A = this chain, B = another copy of it.
Amino acid sequence: MKSDLDRLMQDAALDALLVAGGTIHNPAMYYFTGGIHLLRGFLIKKRGEAPVLFHPSMEREEAARSGLAVRDLNDFSWNGVLHRAGGKRLAQLLASLDVRGRVAVLGRIEIGPLLACLPALQEHRPEIELAPEFDGQSVLARARATKSEDEVERIRQTGRATVEVVGNVADFLTSHRAHGEVLVNQRGEVLTIGEVKRRINLWLAMKGLDNPEGCIFSVGRDAAIPHSTGIDSAPVETGKTIIFDIFPCEARGGYFYDFTRTWVLGQASDEILAIHQDVLEAVQLARRSIRPGVICGEVQVAVCQAFEARGHATLRTDAKTTSGYVHTLGHGVGLDVQEPPYTRPEDKATAFASGMVFTIEPGLYYPERGLGVRLEDTVWLRPDGTLETLADYPTDLVLRLPGA
């Protein structure tokens, strides 16, 4: 968590972090500034010192709300745009805090202009060396991988609002009736996936949540493609698996929650029931296996083995399979909907630790049979070593329809 940052910087021999960009949908900047609204800015965190936020002059009051030490970019004759002089001005920011040594550059920004400014930055500030920070292994990613209780509470609140919306969706679907193999409303009009998604966005907005990446609501064969989001014009079909994966965040790009249920409207076939049961048992196996100190990738392997024992292909048995269990078990959740820790089997080093918040989301996919099942909850590995599901919701497969 944030309080580990100086130690992690020391371990990585980093002298400073330079975070670039605004605060919206820019997790690194949000992490330090906590939800203020800056269109542009830079933040410098020296090891062992409090961060300093450099802001455009027009955004001075917003910047002050962060509670951080602030400096006006106007004092550097600059508004923060990375034009030709950007490298020189960045060097001046670093010089103003006497930054020397190894500096990591962070932030979700347009990469081109910053790349273009780096040569001048190095030329005007030879006292620094840019330090490589690979995906998921950066110092900030390591700090963010464990959450403070304040962060957990924000994720929990997002989660509670999320599952209320999931309940709204279930109620809405079952307020319809089956007509042939599709849902229709009281007037006999076919319910489309687009209409369901429109309502999801509305209900999320009513809860004050953002839905920056949309959600997955995919039926039948589409549900068998893990990242298919569903076709707006398609009808909501009965008797087929519906994967509903929803991952909203606090307004303006704060903390996310990630949640999936698989539903069948009306009657589920024995085939679907069996697959759903296999996924449920994988969830239980994963929950039993996860403790502080357990290597993340080992739980992935255990779940693969369990699926294989039931005759499902996995990425272990065939790295290119598109049937069976075709993804990893989970990922961290925080200011990104997917962030460390990951459960990659090739990663023999990353272990679960108290404070981590992550998903458990096994799934089975059979495109050729037109079905997919995934169950996902976001859990917190508590200081006492137990798992807490941050927002409870039933795992029921079948949603009964009126009159059925």
Contact = CB atoms under 8 A, between A and B. Distances in A.
A137 B81 CA distance: 11
Question: Considering residues A110, A137, A208, A320, which has the most beta carbons from chain B within 10 angstroms of its beta carbon?
Answer: A110
B132 A116 contact: yes
A225 B58 CA distance: 7
A130 interface: yes
A202 B60 CA distance: 29
A138 B113 CA distance: 8
Contact of A226 (B58, B111, B119, B138): B58
Contact of A338 (B39, B61, B108, B225): B39
Given A74-B320, A213-B252, A116 B133 contact: yes
Contacts of A118: 115
Contacts of A39: 213, 227, 338
Chain A interface residue count: which class? 35 or more
A52 interface: no
Contacts of A74: 319-320
Contacts of A104: 112
Nearest to A23: B213
Contacts of A189: none
Copies of this chain present: 2
Contact of A253 (B113, B212, B225, B227): B212
Nearest to A113: B135
A160 interface: no
A43 to B, nearest CB: 13
Interface string A181-217: 0000000000000000010011011101011111000
Q: Which of A24, A138, A227 has the most CB of B within 10 A?
A: A227
Interface stretch (A82-90, A149-157, A269-277): A82-90
Interface in A234-289: 251-253
Q: Which 3 residue pairs spanning A and B have beta carbons closest together?
A: A116-B132, A205-B205, A113-B135
Given A62-B228, A116-B133, 5 more contacts: A57-B320, A81-B135, A81-B136, A202-B202, A212-B212
